[in-house]
Amino acid sequence: MNRIYLIGFMGCGKSAIGRRLSFLLKMPYYDMDKEIVRQLGMTIPEIFERFGEDYFRDLETKFLQNLQQEQCIISTGGGVTMRKVNQRIMRQTGLVLFLDAPFKEIWRRIHKDPNRPIVRRSTREEIEALHKARYRDYKRTAHITIRTEHRSLRQITQYAAFQVKRLKNE
């Protein structure tokens, strides 16, 4: 197992857990969205506005295909699992951990975030429907689902690290 992918809906804690897991396991960390922003020199809302969502999804796939680092932790974009090719790449090249947070908690975290283009142009009901639609892909892609409700970032990180170490020893 070389890579550890963190998947889940926007606002579920992928970046926060990824940074902490990187420190705990002493592995390099990549935030897919931040890497794409850095490479293009544009914010995600700017990329969506100028090129559209399909272009952004293409960038996510290229990131997965072209990443050279073998041993690392990657927090993915919330929509990365919508493409079967991305599901396949992640499952074949690493351990996929789904951070499963309840929608009410996710909404509380994201509803005022100006850097989330989908949230800016959608109602709560539309975002909840998107969450439900993507949920199947998260479950299908994940090797392990980690429920985050009523758990601190520290507890979630320690549980993720435990699972990684357990599987490395098998």
User: From the annotation, which residues make up the binding site?
Assistant: 11-16, 33, 57, 78, 116, 134, 151
Q: Which residues are annotated as a binding site for ATP?
A: 11-16, 116, 151
Report the binding-site residues for Mg(2+). Answer: 15
Known binding-site residues for substrate equal 33, 57, 78, 134
| CA dist., res. 22 & res. 29, Å (int) | 6
Contact in structure between 29 and 46 (CB atoms under 8 Å): no
Strand partners, 24: none
What span, in angstroms and rounded, lies between the C-alpha atoms of 4 and 166?
13
Q: Residue 70's closest CA among 88, 87, 95?
A: 95
- How far apart, in whole angstroms, are the C-alpha atoms of residue 17 and residue 158? 10
